[in-house]
């Protein structure tokens, strides 16, 4: 019964129905790119390929990546193991300085976050596919938040 209520809650959730997130990508024009690989299973050549994919995706959106930016697009990779299953968790996040509500103070915060959790069959190819999914979601939201195709 509980699982049925959970499923019904997902179906009725606006974020599930419309693909929106509680985050905004409005006004982002520059981002540094960081791939943080916290897994011994993901090879360096895969990490380099993922970083190139991130740069290309941002450049396609006219987001500059060659200049210094205090805002960062981070891909965080981890490989949790739940015996006997080995999973891969990929998180795509934007981190930047934000002004605290009701204050002049600034603090470091995550202004975007999306994740993918999967059981890999072919680690390199599945990681590429996961990032393609995450970057597609990022791109769609960026275009929506910034008034259409950039």
Which of left, alpha, beta for 19 (phi over 0: left; psi -120 to 50: alpha)? left
Report the pLDDT value the prediction gives residue 97, as an integer from 0 to 100: 78
pLDDT tens profile 29-44: 999 999 999 999 999 9
Which residues, 6+ apart, have CB-to-CB distance to 12 below 8 Å? none
Report the pLDDT value the prediction gives residue 69, as an integer from 0 to 100: 84
| Helix intervals (H) in the chain | 2-12, 14-18, 44-60, 123-145
Nearest-angstrom CA–CA distance, 127 and 88: 8
Which pTM value belongs to this model?
0.80
Residue 50's pLDDT band, with cuts at 50, 70 and 90, is: very high
Domain range summary for the chain, segments of one domain joined by +: 29-145
Report the pLDDT value the prediction gives residue 20, as an integer from 0 to 100: 55
Question: For the chain, what is the mean pLDDT?
Answer: 85
Give the pair of three-digit tokens for residue 35. 């791939």
């Amino acid at each position: 019964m509980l699982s049925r209520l959970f499923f019904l809650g997902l179906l009725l959730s606006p974020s599930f129905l419309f693909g929106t997130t509680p985050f905004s990508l409005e006004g982002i024009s520059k981002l540094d790119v960081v791939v943080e690989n916290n897994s011994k299973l993901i090879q360096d050549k895969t990490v380099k390929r993922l970083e190139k994919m991130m740069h290309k995706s941002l450049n396609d959106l006219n987001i500059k990546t060659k200049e210094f930016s205090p805002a960062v697009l981070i891909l965080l990779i981890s490989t949790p193991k739940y015996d006997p299953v080995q999973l891969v968790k990929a998180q795509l996040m934007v981190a930047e300085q934000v002004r605290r509500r009701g204050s002049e103070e600034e603090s470091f915060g995550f202004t975007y976050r999306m994740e993918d959790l999967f059981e890999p069959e072919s680690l390199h190819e599945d990681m590429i596919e996961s990032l393609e999914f995450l970057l597609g979601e990022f791109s769609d939201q960026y275009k929506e938040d910034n008034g259409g195709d950039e």
